[in-house]
Amino acid sequence: MSQPVAIKNALISVYYKDNLEPIIRELNRIGASIYSTGGTETFIRSLGVDVIAVEDLTSYPSILGGRVKTLHPKVFGGILARRSNESDKKQLGQYEIPEIDLVIVDLYPFEETVESGAGHDDVIEKIDIGGISLIRAAAKNFKDVVILASKDDYTELYEMLSSQNGTTTIDQRKRFAQKAFNITSNYDTAIFQYFNQDEPLPVFKHSIQTSQTLRYGENPHQKGVFYGNLDAMFNKLNGKELSYNNLVDVDAAVALIDEFTEPTIAILKHTNACGIASRSFIKEAWIDALACDPVSAFGGVIIANAEIDAATATEIDKIFYEVLIAPAYTDEAVQILQGKKNRIILVRQPVELPAKQFKTLLNGVIEQDKDNTVEGPEHMTPVTNRKPTEQELKDLYFANKVVKHTKSNTIVFAKNSQLMSSGVGQTSRVDSLKQAVIKAESFGFDLNGAVMASDAFFPFPDCVELAAEAGILAVLQPGGSINDKLSIEKCNEKNISMVTTGVRHFKH
């Protein structure tokens, strides 16, 4: 059973014919009979190689506009017959069915058709029936049959046949079967996702065919893989490969910067912003973002939403960072930034990002919609005697964007479209506030006239009292606590403004 199997008969019917010719000629050289249909049959004949039409084997023509060509016992019998089973072999002889030792079949381009924006009828016609059945049959019988289901494997098969004189080993056939089932499962998942848009079934199905092995996972003793196409997302101009932790921070950076339209730069460490500022010019945004917390900026991920010029690059190059992301760079900026070989410099490409988030948890997976809501001034309801000024409303909006992307429990202080400090990931909200006050003071920020945003409601008035003592003049929170009244009364006592949004932004 583990002995090499010689290819005597091959069935070939493919959509993609590039690089197929060497295989055809090698099969012809070893004397294998070739069965084919439609365009592939015409292609083989054009090479001057003999080919037997499947219709001649089955004695049935291709019918229903090509929808039924190979679905016949004389085809599937030859693929599924067990060579070591005497009963199977006897039936092959009885019905004059040739043993098919090699099946080269690919699938109609369903995903490409969907992505092209084609109409529903065109998409349905690209659901392959015969091809996927042939692939599954040949893969199931890998002990006796070679299945090739992708044009990406043409060269590998050609080299195998030419170096082994038309034979294959059981390990080689099993490997091709593994690849084939990967292709069919991905194909079926794509079809299911297309049908599962209206009134979706509560099932979890995802299939990503591209991947990149990472140096390691979150820590060196953990293995890590990224599934997806990073080359579509970024054009790398410099530096080493992104690590697992880099990717987690880059994901957080992209989500944060997409909240802003004016020239903005953010610096992140462990997915939280340690500096962010919006200014008229990108260099000014960098200087003020770095001022927020130049200590934490060391080794961070930097992201901009505007072109990096030479002047800005010169300033950024003065610190150590892991990753820099921008939509564009001037040539002079690239020359400056490439001076340090390990710094990762990325150009962000316009790619549509998923609308859902999921992760493994316990013995399953949890999934949710992305938090795509951020409340602007029009969504802020004043609940205190003092109303926020126009500038305070602008700063509250800025702070609310930042707090949404900061680990809970979190408090954010901001003034003049600049992050002044934040308290991040504390087990109590008041501890987050205390942390933010200490950080602001340590970097010389005057909180008088600043605003404060909270990702969730205040359970007690202590946060408002401490904020007022620090100089905060306006507060944003979602509201919803049974003690909202106490916090509002404390604001009125301290003559500061409070607005509620009705929307919580926990981030765990």
- 462-497: string of b/e by CB count within 10 Å (b at 16+)? bbbbbbbebbbbbbbbbbeeeebebbbebbbebebb
Burial class (CB in 10 A: 0-12, 13-18, 19+), 366: exposed
Closest CA to 100 of 63, 49, 151, 135: 135
Angle CA 149–153–155, to nearest 5? 140
Dihedral over Cα of 180, 184, 189, 190: its sign? positive
Grouping H, G, I as helix, E, B as strand and the rest as coil, residue 501 is coil
> Of residues 8, 89, 236, 270, which has the active-site annotation?
270
Give the residues across from 267 on adjacent strands.
275, 302
Cα 39 to Cα 494: distance, rounded to the nearest angstrom: 81
Pick the catalytic residue: 140, 143, 179, 379? 140
CB 131, CB 107: distance < 8 Å? yes
Q: Does the annotation count 270 as an active-site position?
A: yes
Say if CB 28 and CB 49 are below 8 A apart: yes
| Element (DSSP H or E) covering residue 464 | helix 462-470
Strands 5-6 and 167-168: antiparallel
Three-state secondary structure call for residue 205: coil
Q: Could you give the residue ranges of the DSSP H alpha helices within 320-373?
A: 331-337
CA pair distance 363, 313, nearest whole angstrom: 46
DSSP H or E segment with residue 158: helix 154-163
Decide: 56 and 33 in contact? Cβ < 8 Å.
no
CB contact set of 404 (below 8 Å; sequence gap of 6+) = 259, 371, 374, 455, 505, 507
User: How far apart, in whole angstroms, are the C-alpha atoms of residue 484 and residue 490?
Assistant: 10
Query: CA nearest 257: which of 268, 243, 246, 269?
Result: 268
Catalytic residue numbers?
140, 270
